[in-house]
Amino acid sequence: MPPLTFTPTEREDHRTVTARKKREAMRARILRAIMDLYADRSKISTSIEDVAREAEISRGTFYKHFNSLDEALIAVGREVTDQMTQDMLPIYDAVTDPVNRVSTGLRLFLTRALTDHRWAAFVLRAELVAQKSEMLTYLMKDLRNGAIDGVMEFDNLQAAVDSVMGATVEGIRTILLKRTKDPEQYIDSTIRITLRGLAVEKRRALKATETSRELVAGLPQSVRETWRAGA
């Protein structure tokens, strides 16, 4: 069998693909190191030197991928929130009612906090949700639709988004720090109170809380296993 030969263009394409894969692998390595460091609640602060040490790279390698620690942290935040959104889609996309979607989204985040403490600790310590993320895009759309349909009421969309996000982050904090003896009941209460804060009618808020519980119970096992693996 004659040896394989490649044209100059094919060799160039191969080198380009190989270089891109190496860059992507190194970038992922840096982002994993940042998430591990920020998930460690014993660490008061994190520096680029800490990230380089954790990832076993040089400062120069870090700067080949990110201009600053803040830029890298935003990248991690975006990936974490977008991946969480992707995990939600199997059940979230099947829901059309905006009240049920907000209820289900909030329950999914708080349910993950019960399982994946590493993820929960990172979300709390990083204290950010990327300003351009799939999660915020979905939430804004759901709240806007809820107002249009007349099932929610608020005079400022950003304030409504902040209210839901605040309940999500503080709920994760309570669950991670074990400030409640009954997490499931706490999640139910958080959802009801958040929906009522959006002027959702009481019976509808109660029903949406029950509906989200049933939907999240049907979360694919593969997603649950991924969450447990990251704990």
What is 134-150 written as a DSSP string?
HHHHHHHHHHHHHHHHT
- Indicate left, alpha or beta for 13 from its phi (over 0: left) and psi (-120 to 50: alpha): alpha
Residue 131: what pLDDT?
54
How far is residue 138's CA from residue 102's CA, in Å, rounded to a whole number? Answer: 9
Q: How far is CA 176 from CA 85, 113, 164, in A?
A: 20, 7, 18
Question: Tens digits of per-residue pLDDT, 35-90?
Answer: 888 878 777 788 999 999 999 999 999 999 999 998 998 888 878 777 787 888 88
What structural domains and CATH numbers belong to the chain?
A: 1-66 (1.10.10.60), 70-229 (1.10.357.10)
How far is residue 133's CA from residue 83's CA, in Å, rounded to a whole number? Answer: 10
Per-residue tokens: 173: 């904090």
pTM over 0.85: no
Question: Tens digits of per-residue pLDDT, 182-208?
Answer: 999 999 999 999 999 999 999 999 999
**Block residue for tokens 């939600």:** 88
Question: Tens digits of per-residue pLDDT, 26-40?
Answer: 998 998 898 888 878
Confidence bin at 9 (pLDDT 50/70/90):
low
| Side chain identity at residue 41, one-letter code | R
Per-residue tokens: 146: 């809820």
Per-residue tokens: 174: 């309570």
How far is residue 171's CA from residue 175's CA, in Å, rounded to a whole number? Answer: 6
Do 132 and 81 meet the contact criterion of CB atoms below 8 Å apart? Answer: no
Q: Residue 153: helix, strand or coil by DSSP?
A: coil
